[in-house]
Amino acid sequence: MDTSKLVLDAEPNLRCTVSVGVSFFPNKDTHSVQDLIDLVGAALERARSEGGGKICLFQHQGYLYAPEAS
């Protein structure tokens, strides 16, 4: 994962992180747009609960994968 320093005149030490949830379509658990949104939401919630600044992938087995930043 890439990290960049954000510098603003008013807030020189401002830190910004991004959490991302990912799911595949089509897969055996996704039959509608709402299913896809729900799975992406679950992956995003997992990324946030892992401390933020993560990418989580929801695979069809229901396994949520959150790779560690290198």
Inform me whether the pLDDT recorded for 70 exceeds 50: no
**Residue 44 identity (one-letter amino acid):** L
pLDDT reported for residue 61: 67
Distance of alpha carbon 2 from the chain centroid: 14
Name which residue leads in pLDDT, 41 or 67: 41
Span 8-63, pLDDT tens digits: 677 667 777 889 998 888 777 788 899 999 989 998 998 888 888 888 888 766 65
For 49-62, b/e burial (b = at least 16 CB within 10 A) is eeeebbbbbbeeee
Q: What is the pTM of this model?
A: 0.65
pLDDT-based confidence at residue 7 (cuts at 50, 70, 90): low
